[in-house]
Structure 1
Amino acid sequence: MLRQCPIAIDPSGRNVHAEAARLRELGPIVKVVLPGGVPGWAVAGHEALRELLADPRRVSKDAYRHWRAWIDGEVTHAWPLSIWVSVQNMITAYGEEHTRLRKPAMAGFGARRVAALRPRVEAVAAERLDALAELPADEVVDLRAHYAHEVPTRVMFELFGIPERSWAMLHKIINGFFDTGISVEEARQNSVDLYETMADLVAYKRAHPADDLTSAMLAARDDENGARLTEKELTDNLILLFTAGYETSVNLISSAVDLMLRHPAQRELVESGLAAWEDVVEETLRLEPPAANGFLRFAVEDIEIDGTVIPAGDPFIVSFASVGRDPALHGADADAFDITRPSRGDHMAFGFGIHYCLGATLARLEAAVSLTALFRRFPEISAAGCPGRLPRTESFISNGLRELPVRLGPQRVTG
């Protein structure tokens, strides 16, 4: 009976983990009502999700082809979350279209390209720490705003070749993009601002091409027929890559710092050499995935898992917040932060299958470098806010802190 009662997803995301736990208790596949009164499903079990995403033929992210309510006009562009399904990029494409749209961006996030970025990531982190070092040691600093936010965004600006004139507007737009509680009017204006800003970027890079991802995608061609990406495909892919790359890393770094400050015994493991910062990154991704829910997928055909059927044409979300804490995989202490946990890397924070995040390697690098530099520079850093009660992003999609107040303490003395 409980499985038949839809769970209303809270658009504010005020307590994503409590909501995720409730979904998981009801079963691996649960009926939900999405913000705006849209009916759908949630996948809350680790094994169910792996099974669901293992065969890309059964699952789509293309609303125009496979979401019955979108095709029939029951859900329209007036829906505040419509931009998440109306864009036409690699993440909303299906089959061969997904391959075609993903290919131009792959080179920009390859292992060699990301490895080559390490010195620049280290330099940006050092620059931001130099600025923080100018502040009084006992002053309360919002580390999210002044460090966790600054390092990945500056790296992304450089990677995409975004001119400084667009930085402030992009910060504002992305905050609105992930705020799933905004009004229809605010969502519509944010969409207009986003497309105008990206159109300006494309025009600028056409006039000033350089060794950056935007220029590379402008020049990209389909190997089979020589056709360039359409203007909308190019713009929508840029929107996806930049917004996802920004939000993922900011949330990951902020959450990792917060967790380490609240668990000094875990920090001691790293400092004693019994664990590495990369272990911290993986356990943070498991426990506090940067995206609480993956939004939005559609059943191409009737899909039955564990006795529950998602009918063809129905939408569903993926609860990363739930699957990362699934006790069936991670044990009875799945809610605990343990960087030595054997299953710490067995998560789906970056997705699974053909839609696995292109920027996963870069996000991991940015987080590990940022954490290493921060705790090395300020070994006495401490939390200044109420542990475990810091304000969080108002979103059921994004999972992160709105602020991270700390006292940095004195810098490490080097000889």
Structure 2
Amino acid sequence: MPASETRGGRVVLSPAFKAEAHERYERLRAIGPIHAATFSSGLEGQLVVGYDLAREALTHPALLKDPTPAADALSAIGYVVNKPGVGLGGHMLEADPPAHTRLRRLVSGAFTPRRTAALALRIEAIAHALVDAMPPAGELDLVVAFTGPLPLTVMAELLGIPECLREDFRRMSAHALTVAAPEHRDALAGLHRLLRGLLADKRSDQGDGLLSDLIAARDEDDGRLSDDELVGTALLLIVAGHETTVNLLGTALLALLRHPAQLRLLRDAPESVPGAVEEFLRYDTSVELATHRYAAEDLELGGVPIPRGTPVVVALASAGRDAPLPHAQDPAALDVTRPAARHLAFGHGIHYCLGAPLARLEAAVALRVLLARVPLVELAVPEEDLAWIPSGMMRGLLALPVRYRRA
């Protein structure tokens, strides 16, 4: 492996690495399924890049979300374990059973499939309105004009965030999972403050929306959602529900621009878009890295000793390119007709993403509308000039400039 990709024998998840993530993950997989790594926060641990080992790590009983065994290492980079208002703490994604079981049950009661399915017509209307707002032809940034505002509007309406707070929400969430500390922590702290104020307002006048349902779950279920858990859960839904879909749409559109024959296939058969979304999730998923897990005891993973307290991170994006495919198909190839593409884009096991149905629905509806109404699209800049999110768990484009003509 080139020396520029390692430091002291460790893989370095630098902005350069993330910009060329799939090429570098492929080289890592050729060596082995797990590697010592330095993450963008400066924390050192193990990076899992192989599909089979990723599935094992995501369900390993001794790889937990509780960071207490790694408290010394975390404090060295400025993270205070179990401090309210820090990071994404206080929600199910960073909890272990039995707390995780309790939180997931309460949240799933408000985040129902019926609520998600009912959003389909509204998502379509938002997508059409965004296309209507585009000039008939020219150049624009699809992240600004379409892939960003669509999930922002959907999530804001779902949660009941008022119009006057949406710009603050957009700005803070854009930094919360994409920028290294200290800006990362500042954005998260700002979202904590915004949500505490919003939740206080909704307690006196709840109205509709998922935040109101979470308040009801807290107040009507013997207070089993603490204030910190309520804020942390709302923060998880906002950041994950917005940022992941922005990036999924962006990487899917870029993949189609890179593969014009695949783009024509989808335009000619729009009914195949939902299946193509699974291929986009496998091919270039928006959540590149799962959240940290910590070894609760000394263990072995993929033949590598993992001392207690070691952070272990699963590269979901790498696992997708290593997922089993039938008939010796090429995992590096995009095939929007691939049946039942396997991937770990939404995780695996007890932490499997509750918002997966919404992400799939948003992506399918948005792509159908855009492909039908904007028939001519090409990149407006050389591909090497595209800028990728430089750090953190997300994978996505900061901008997607295109030339287009809409119908």
Give the TM-score of the pair, scaled to structure 2.
0.89
- 312, 321, 326: which one aligns with 1:325: 321
- In 1, Cα distance between equivalents of 2:312 and 2:227: 29
CA contact (8 A) 2:43 2:73 kept: no
- In 1, Cα distance between equivalents of 2:213 and 2:320: 35
In the TM superposition, structure 1's runs of 4+ consecutive aligned residues that sit over 6 Å from their partners are 1-4
Q: Partner residue of 1:230?
A: 226
Q: Partner residue of 1:216?
A: 213
Q: Partner residue of 2:45?
A: 40
Q: Partner residue of 2:89?
A: 87
Q: Partner residue of 1:123?
A: 125
- In 2, Cα distance between equivalents of 1:243 and 1:143: 20
* Aligned-pair CA distance for 1:190: 2.3
% identical aligned pairs:
37
Q: Partner residue of 1:353?
A: 349
Distance 1:232 1:283, change over 3 A: same
- In 2, Cα distance between equivalents of 1:108 and 1:379: 38
Distance 1:162 1:53, change over 3 A: same
Which amino acid is the alignment partner of residue 371 of structure 1? L
The residue correspondences of 1:181-200 to structure 2 (distance < 5 A) are: 181=180, 183-184=181-182, 186-200=183-197
Distance 1:274 1:74, change over 3 A: closer
Which amino acid is the alignment partner of residue 41 of structure 1? Q
SS at match of 1:321: helix
- In 2, Cα distance between equivalents of 1:222 and 1:99: 18
Distance 1:312 1:188, change over 3 A: closer
Q: Note the residue ranges of structure 1 that are not aligned, 5 or more in a row.
A: none
- In 2, Cα distance between equivalents of 1:308 and 1:173: 38
Q: Partner residue of 1:8?
A: 12
SS at match of 1:313: coil
* Aligned-pair CA distance for 1:308: 1.5
CA contact (8 A) 2:58 2:347 kept: no
- In 1, Cα distance between equivalents of 2:49 and 2:185: 31
Q: Partner residue of 1:205?
A: 202
Which amino acid is the alignment partner of residue 108 of structure 2? M
Q: Partner residue of 2:307?
A: 311
Q: Within the alignment, does 1:292 sit opposite 2:295 as a pair?
A: no
CA contact (8 A) 2:89 2:232 kept: yes
CA contact (8 A) 1:84 1:296 kept: no
Once structures 1 and 2 are overlaid, which stretch shifts more, 116-125 or 201-210? 201-210
Q: Partner residue of 1:373?
A: 369
- 63, 66, 70: which one aligns with 1:67: 70
Q: Note the residue ranges of structure 2 that are not aligned, 5 or more in a row.
A: none
* Aligned-pair CA distance for 1:68: 5.0
* Aligned-pair CA distance for 1:203: 1.6
Aligned-residue Cα RMSD (Å) equals 2.8
CA contact (8 A) 1:45 1:323 kept: yes
- In 1, Cα distance between equivalents of 2:122 and 2:199: 24
Which amino acid is the alignment partner of residue 239 of structure 1? L
* Aligned-pair CA distance for 1:75: 5.0
- In 1, Cα distance between equivalents of 2:7 and 2:383: 35
Q: Partner residue of 2:246?
A: 250
- In 2, Cα distance between equivalents of 1:246 and 1:273: 28
Q: Partner residue of 1:155?
A: 154
Q: Partner residue of 1:103?
A: 105
* Aligned-pair CA distance for 1:226: 1.8
Distance 1:361 1:328, change over 3 A: closer
- 15, 34, 55: which one aligns with 1:29: 34
* Aligned-pair CA distance for 1:334: 1.6
Once structures 1 and 2 are overlaid, which stretch shifts more, 377-386 or 268-277? 268-277
Which amino acid is the alignment partner of residue 208 of structure 2? D
Distance 1:275 1:220, change over 3 A: closer
CA contact (8 A) 1:303 1:310 kept: yes
Distance 1:250 1:231, change over 3 A: same
* Aligned-pair CA distance for 1:312: 2.7
* Aligned-pair CA distance for 1:217: 0.5
* Aligned-pair CA distance for 1:343: 5.6
Q: Partner residue of 1:54?
A: 59
SS at match of 2:294: strand
- In 1, Cα distance between equivalents of 2:109 and 2:404: 38
Query: Structure 1, residues 165-212: CA drift from partner, whole Å, max 9, x if none?
Result: 11111111112212333x53x344323322211112112211221221
- In 2, Cα distance between equivalents of 1:285 and 1:86: 24
- In 2, Cα distance between equivalents of 1:113 and 1:274: 24
- In 2, Cα distance between equivalents of 1:29 and 1:21: 12
